[in-house]
Structure 1
Amino acid sequence: MKRPLIYAFAVLCCAILLAAFGAPFFLYVLLPVGLMPIPLIFKKVRPVSAVLILAVYMLGCAVAIPVFGNENPFEGFWEHPASLSGVVDSVPSQEGEKTRFVLKLQEINHMSVSGKVMVTVAEDSVTYMPGEVLSFDGEISEPAGRRNPGGFDYALYLKAKGIDGQVYLKNGEAITAKPGSFSPIYAVYSMRQRLSEICDQFFTPPQSGLIKGILLGDSTIDDEVKASFREAGVSHVLAISGLHVGYVYALVLWLLARLGVRRRYHLPVLAACLLFYITLTGFSPSVIRAALMCLALVGGRGITETYDALNGLCLAGVVILLFQPAQLFMAGFQLSFSAVLAIVLFYKPLLYEYERHIKTPGAVASSLLLTFCATLGTMPASLYHFHTLNLVALISNLLVVPLVGVLLVFALITVPLTAFIPAAGGLLCLPAAFLADGILFLTNLFSKFSWLVLHRGAMTLAELLIMVLVAFLISGYFNLNKKSARYFAGVSLPLLLLVIFGTSLVRQPLRITFLDVGQGDSALVETPSGGVYLIDGGGYETYGNALRKERTPISESVLLPVLYAKSIRRIDGVFISHNHADHAQGIEELLAEIPVGRIYVSSKYNNETLLSQNKIPVEVLAKGSALESGDGLSFEVLWPESKREMLADEEQNDASMLLRLCYGSRSFLFTGDAGFPVEEAIVRSMPEADVLKVGHHGSRFSTSPEFLKKLNPSLAVISVGRYNSFGHPTYEVLENIEASGAVCKRTDKNGAVEVWTNGKDLSVRSYIDKD
């Protein structure tokens, strides 16, 4: 077996996947049973290779099953006040008005425990040192998983870092801190914190954010700067990766050569330097992967053996996944490995084909091919996690990446020197500041080409296979002079294209997704023929004299990721039930981001700015209004009355548009924030509905027993925010729903709730299976 580590990596991934999806025991046994007779059947496979692969598989099962098991060390403490004590296990980071750090818990209610939590303090002025012991009272909460289509799985992200819970504190005043015992790792973390302070002191905020990102892996860069890097297709340079390790590797070997150090000492010195860098950057998997490959390269040369890049890549993968199995599902891990894999597989063959058919490639052509291979490799993971394909990256990377490398080398030298000679910091940091400004200028320039950024959902299996097949074809892996190769390519490509085309012709069911937008309402309607409608869009309401907090727009955090994940590029119509921010704000944000065919509002709607704009047609609906989608779906308005009058904000709830959707024999009722008066006004003439979007987030002023009895729903969906301050949904409403016999789903506990029907059958699933 030429490359046993490839097979070891593959079986390790199988073990992790089985554990992650809760496979039954007999599936775990199938793989080793199948592996055992292979050395007897295939003489080229040595028994030692089979034993290695089997050992890696069993180790993978042993480490993955506890990680993905349902047991959590803090499950018994969820949402209960407790006395907590633990050690600061990361460098605290300031993100907006918050300070965030990892705490390795030692005690809960004076009982010894083991595990980590992510602590968020609602202040940006608190500072703690890695290794300090903190004591405070708080509540441990369960991290949120993927709550919406295309959303971020925060629970899995924390699990990949070995973190089992989260704690949110309103301020740091009640935290008691005392020094902890010495630890080499915490000493390096403290050094990282000092280097971060040096960057903040001697550079402007944009410069500091960029330098801390490439030097320390610090992600607290300004949102606008981060957005420009993302739109320019070079956001990967802000995350510590193989690129950065490559520059560290080259710098260390250059210094060793200049100092005349013998080659046999290169490996231990390089290993020590890379271990320090891995610790300094917070044990990033991409750094570990790149460091292991560099060490394998130097070690291989030291014993005069040919370095095999694929084996080196798989060795790095095995080491990382044995220590952190959940990394297999992380975007960073997938992007890092797929980029290197594509470069290893396709760069040299494409370079050869270019030279054979065109001419000897120069530096620009070689760089373009390298960027193309990396982009090709990362495309599936980018579309799956970020729903984005950035074509401008093919050009921007040619200029930005080399400059980032030079900036990293300067930062590696000047920032630590400044820590020792602060008086000379202004002069020492001048070249790095100049380079940082140049990189920021270029990324801002390339970000103007946002029209070259494509948004769509994840690739289907057929699309992925076509991409891989074409890549191998153009790289010359198939000898098309052979009849078998021509026959394989000639049959496979048309067959896969036929699968894609045939799938697009299959009639889809009506699909309605009640999105989790926090304390607000939003539902996405996808019709059988591909029509798209949005009923409300969520948002952040401000009550009384409370200060309006700086928050990520709801369109950016929820709505656009949902639309991109579903490959939706246009919305046929948006319905705004009433003019309150938690229903209308997301729609208003979305109008500037994606084409919308028509806006529908009620006869009592009072946003004059929206009504008077002339870019998108606005249609006012009232009781008796009816719309048809053209593929069997109908919209009927049950409320408000047809008299046209704009009501004040405090009167908008009971002026909510009540919308009834019908498809075949199935129907859905959307009630906005309507309360008892509206229910009483329409209950006599109201037809039954299979699915009810519960009014006013489950407040005690809506969803009466009489209303539920007349409506007779089989499913009631409550759109409500986690830990909201209103006590929604109320106990009375939950009791009423239970008494009616309807199944109740809540976005605060179940995440997004998806309902689909062919007009007869009705199916339901929630993104978080918790009742």
Structure 2
Amino acid sequence: MDEFHDPSPLRLRQPFVGIALAAALGIAAADQFPAPLTDLVWWFPCALLLSLIARRTLTTLLFVAAAFFTLHSLRLTQAPEVRLARALGPGPALVHAEGIVSDDPKLSPGPEERSSFPVLLSQLAPASGEPLRDARDAKVLVRWEGSPPAYGDRVRLTATARPPRPARNPAQFDAADWLARQGIRTELAVRSPSDAAILDRRQGHPVLHAARDARDWMLHQLALDLDRDPDVRGTIAGIVLGIAAETPDEVTEQFRRTGTLHLFAVSGLHVGMFVVLAWMLIRPLPLPRGGQMLLLIPLLLFYAAVTGLKASVLRATVMTLVVLGGQMLDRPSRLLNSLAAAGFFLLLCDTHELFAAGFQLSFGVVLSILLLAGPIIRKVRPWLAPDPFVPPPLYSPAQRSYAALGAYLAPALGTSVAAWIGSLPLGLHYFHLASPVAVLSNLVVIPISFAVLAFGLLAIAGAAISPWLAAAYNNANWVACKALLGSIDLFAALPLGWFHVGTPDPIRPDHRLAVLDLGRAQAIVVESGGRTWLLDPGSARDYETITRPFLRSLGADRLDGLLLSHGDARHIGAAGDCVRDFHPRRIGVPSVQDRSGARRAFEARLAESGKGRALLAAGHRLHAIGGTPGIEVLYPPAGLDRRLADDKGLVLRWDLGGVRVLTTADAGVATERALLDAGVDLRADLLVLGRHATDPVGNAAFLDAVRPRAVIASAASFPEEERIPAAWAARLAAAGIPLYRQDRTGAVQVRITRRTVRIDPFLATEIGSEEWTRR
């Protein structure tokens, strides 16, 4: 807290601040305009020569920027993974590969044994060719079938090599970009367990093997006698070891909403608490102060290795090492300079860290605390102090208690407010989430989390003596953890404690329709009159990675309506999760029953929650409050009896301010013929088609009846029935009807203003955007 009393940390000499900023600017410039190797050959020596001749602060900073520009350009153009991707090309290729697993496998949900993990290659060869020279030391992502290997295992496999698939929807996590930042530009997909084998075990770095063994042992000790409470067990694992995967999704979401998810990312808070607890154990030892601090360093490094060596823990570890080094040399360090030094060394090790959300959040929050906490504390402290004209010896017991409370609250509140200010812009950018309640929640949960960490470390230490001792500490930790979870639930329930903020749309449409690409399904989001409706949330996986993030990017905390088209798990598998997350005011399902397990599971879950739903049939009209959007149910008729769920799906016509949109789910020839035979008015400006399981869709008579100005059609390369027939696409082209086929466009967004209708594909394709003036 010493720096909080300084007028400003920026007025002190902080040499690493300028150096770190220059490094960041050089990396950012190279990321936008990477220089080829031929330019770097003369660019970098010129910058070095200039810095040696001038010897000024500015030229030194220019040299640092040039050095990091060069380093990042080389990473982008000459790294092994880049050369390998260049050699393999864009298309899929069958290859034989061998290498060492460089991180823990991530298991895929589902009954099948599937996993993915990075592999550092020792060799890779096309199925009909010689080993590629550029493959050695390149890192690839392996998608494995069967029982997964472990970190350090040497594996041999035959797989299909291809570039990672980019995001196909707005707000979707871009795995391809994230993998590129991790040094991975190629995926190897193993077709069957027989195509892969583990050749040898434990070939990784010995220190990392020891850290993983220690982490697994610690995780087991922390779970003793807590088998029946997964929420508590997962929370303890997350806070003590930073293993968020052990924490249930519902608990993680509550921490995210209250701005306390940082407790699961081992950071300065955890490292600081660990150092305090370790120092309490080391302090009584009969060693000089320098020796005690020297003993603290390997403990700190081992804790960093056990908790995963992520950006937040590395930042905190480097800062702590700088501070400890200064104390040992009687040269007190300045925290802002230490923060800049930590950033500089991390960027020196990996320039891609600058673009990682964890790096930005970690450094952004700490920087905000260092710059803003002091002024805030000085403003808050007088409000929480007793009467300044009363001498402390004359304080009454109540005044002494108030003074003690104020002495804690002033720095805690100032730090909490500063941290929230620092995290707010990044939270809005990455998660579209604002959590004002974080200012209060952190005042309560951080002291409790200190107790959770302390009991956790005591349980680990006690396990070395007796499992019973570890279990005793775990039961004490159960109480602390329950208090923590109860506090989180309380803060999450506060009105306006958290809310999502949408990304501004520069067009500012009156109505917007988004057809999200789920591969073999669609999720359709309609915004109209300030209300948000969703037709089909998708499967559980698609909902988590595509539909929910998109709704959050709109600022949606609650849906005005949720409609389920038909009983297909790819379309409605996540309906229950959607109701839990967005509490729709109205829920509509087809009135006809089907044999879908996904629909039965949803109906049962809905009944347990006491929520109702409307049974929709042809002739029903749905109107939101205010009359927009208007939704007309055209199909199925009540009492329809068909075998396939695709033939019993909802066909809806949406009225969006006079622009009519017809959505047909996965309807096929039978549904289209039934609509035509019934003489239903099918005219619409926009037609959104799915794919039937067996039948073709969009026959000529149906298209003539609809007369769309554009068609958005679901499509996938596999299986055959999900593909769009070339003849059908040619017929639309001949009629002058733009076809947005989602195997090429990804998601498609339609923005409607008073004058125009604009259609934008998410991916760049040959068709491009389309705009027409409203009639």
Q: TM-score range by the shorter chain?
A: 0.7 to 0.9
User: Larger deviation: 247-256 or 353-362?
Assistant: 247-256
Match of residue 487 from structure 2: 446
Answering whether residue 209 of structure 2 is matched by residue 184 of structure 1, we say: no
SS of corresponding position for 1:668: strand
> 1:640 is matched by which residue type in structure 2?
Y
Query: Residues 386-465 of structure 1 correspond to what in structure 2 (within 5 A)?
Result: 386-391=431-436, 393-409=438-454, 411-412=456-457, 415=460, 418=463, 424-449=465-490, 450-452=492-494, 453-457=497-501
Match of residue 656 from structure 1: 649
Answering whether residue 663 of structure 2 is matched by residue 670 of structure 1, we say: yes
Question: How far apart are the structure 2 equivalents of 1:330 and 1:240?
Answer: 16
1:690/1:713 contact within 8 Å kept: yes
Query: Residues 214-613 of structure 1 correspond to what in structure 2 (within 5 A)?
Result: 214-223=239-248, 224-227=250-253, 229-230=255-256, 233-251=259-277, 257-259=283-285, 261-262=287-288, 272-359=298-385, 361-391=406-436, 393-409=438-454, 411-412=456-457, 415=460, 418=463, 424-449=465-490, 450-452=492-494, 453-457=497-501, 508-527=509-528, 529-539=529-539, 551=540, 556-587=544-575, 589-599=577-587, 604=592
Match of residue 164 from structure 1: 185
User: Larger deviation: 441-450 or 193-202?
Assistant: 193-202
Match of residue 6 from structure 1: 17
Question: How far apart are the structure 2 equivalents of 1:533 and 1:225?
Answer: 27
Match of residue 740 from structure 1: 732
SS of corresponding position for 1:137: strand
SS of corresponding position for 1:72: helix
User: Residues 402 and 325 of structure 1: is their aligned pair in 2 closer, same or farther, counting only changes over 3 Å?
Assistant: same
User: Residues 614 and 210 of structure 1: is their aligned pair in 2 closer, same or farther, counting only changes over 3 Å?
Assistant: closer
1:340 shift after superposition? 0.9
SS of corresponding position for 1:240: coil
1:358 shift after superposition? 4.0
2:84/2:138 contact within 8 Å kept: no
1:604/1:644 contact within 8 Å kept: yes
1:518 shift after superposition? 4.5
1:694/1:719 contact within 8 Å kept: yes
- 1:218-269 Cα offsets, whole Å, 9 max, x none, are 3331425545544665332222222222234345555665445555667766
Question: How far apart are the structure 2 equivalents of 1:595 and 1:129?
Answer: 41
User: Residues 694 and 432 of structure 1: is their aligned pair in 2 closer, same or farther, counting only changes over 3 Å?
Assistant: same
1:675 shift after superposition? 0.9
Pick from 691, 696, 699 the counterpart of residue 704 of structure 1.
Answer: 699
SS of corresponding position for 1:371: helix
Answering whether residue 180 of structure 2 is matched by residue 151 of structure 1, we say: no
Answering whether residue 103 of structure 2 is matched by residue 90 of structure 1, we say: yes
1:515/1:522 contact within 8 Å kept: yes
1:645 shift after superposition? 2.0
> 1:102 is matched by which residue type in structure 2?
P
- 1:625-678 Cα offsets, whole Å, 9 max, x none, are 6969969876555x437x532535x25433433334466786533111111233
SS of corresponding position for 1:111: coil
Answering whether residue 197 of structure 2 is matched by residue 175 of structure 1, we say: yes
> 1:218 is matched by which residue type in structure 2?
I
What is the count of residue pairs matched by the alignment? 695
Answering whether residue 659 of structure 2 is matched by residue 618 of structure 1, we say: no
Match of residue 399 from structure 2: none
2:538/2:570 contact within 8 Å kept: yes
Question: How far apart are the structure 2 equivalents of 1:156 and 1:333?
Answer: 16
2:17/2:337 contact within 8 Å kept: yes
> 1:758 is matched by which residue type in structure 2?
T
User: Residues 288 and 519 of structure 1: is their aligned pair in 2 closer, same or farther, counting only changes over 3 Å?
Assistant: same
1:519/1:582 contact within 8 Å kept: yes
User: Residues 299 and 751 of structure 1: is their aligned pair in 2 closer, same or farther, counting only changes over 3 Å?
Assistant: farther
2:501/2:553 contact within 8 Å kept: yes
SS of corresponding position for 2:85: coil
1:380/1:458 contact within 8 Å kept: no
Question: How far apart are the structure 2 equivalents of 1:179 and 1:281?
Answer: 22
User: Residues 259 and 441 of structure 1: is their aligned pair in 2 closer, same or farther, counting only changes over 3 Å?
Assistant: same
User: Residues 660 and 158 of structure 1: is their aligned pair in 2 closer, same or farther, counting only changes over 3 Å?
Assistant: same
1:77/1:140 contact within 8 Å kept: no
SS of corresponding position for 1:647: coil
Question: How far apart are the structure 2 equivalents of 1:311 and 1:217?
Answer: 27
2:624/2:630 contact within 8 Å kept: yes
Pick from 689, 694, 699 the counterpart of residue 694 of structure 1.
Answer: 689
> 2:548 is matched by which residue type in structure 1?
L
Question: How far apart are the structure 2 equivalents of 1:644 and 1:216?
Answer: 56
User: Residues 190 and 219 of structure 1: is their aligned pair in 2 closer, same or farther, counting only changes over 3 Å?
Assistant: same
1:90 shift after superposition? 1.9
Match of residue 134 from structure 1: 155
Match of residue 769 from structure 2: none
2:667/2:692 contact within 8 Å kept: no
Question: How far apart are the structure 2 equivalents of 1:75 and 1:200?
Answer: 46
1:232/1:443 contact within 8 Å kept: no
Match of residue 124 from structure 2: 108
> 2:614 is matched by which residue type in structure 1?
V
SS of corresponding position for 1:151: coil
1:314 shift after superposition? 2.3
1:378 shift after superposition? 1.5
Q: Percent identity, aligned pairs only?
A: 24
2:267/2:316 contact within 8 Å kept: yes
TM-score, normalising length from structure 1? 0.75
1:332 shift after superposition? 2.0
| Unaligned segments of structure 2, at least 5 residues | 1-10, 386-402, 767-775
1:101 shift after superposition? 3.6
User: Residues 706 and 185 of structure 1: is their aligned pair in 2 closer, same or farther, counting only changes over 3 Å?
Assistant: farther
Match of residue 393 from structure 2: none
SS of corresponding position for 1:645: coil
2:106/2:115 contact within 8 Å kept: yes
1:593 shift after superposition? 3.9
2:222/2:459 contact within 8 Å kept: no
> 2:670 is matched by which residue type in structure 1?
P
1:296 shift after superposition? 2.2
* Pairwise CA RMSD: 4.6
1:133 shift after superposition? 0.7
| Unaligned segments of structure 1, at least 5 residues | 461-502, 540-550
- 1:389-419 Cα offsets, whole Å, 9 max, x none, are 445544543454334445445655653774x
Question: How far apart are the structure 2 equivalents of 1:154 and 1:248?
Answer: 33
Question: How far apart are the structure 2 equivalents of 1:673 and 1:406?
Answer: 54
1:73/1:164 contact within 8 Å kept: no
Question: How far apart are the structure 2 equivalents of 1:765 and 1:54?
Answer: 39
1:120 shift after superposition? 4.9
- 1:25-52 Cα offsets, whole Å, 9 max, x none, are 9xx99x99xx99x99xx99955434444
User: Residues 690 and 75 of structure 1: is their aligned pair in 2 closer, same or farther, counting only changes over 3 Å?
Assistant: farther
1:426 shift after superposition? 0.8
Answering whether residue 638 of structure 2 is matched by residue 644 of structure 1, we say: yes
Match of residue 221 from structure 2: 199
Match of residue 470 from structure 1: none
User: Residues 523 and 64 of structure 1: is their aligned pair in 2 closer, same or farther, counting only changes over 3 Å?
Assistant: same
Question: How far apart are the structure 2 equivalents of 1:685 and 1:90?
Answer: 58
> 2:478 is matched by which residue type in structure 1?
D
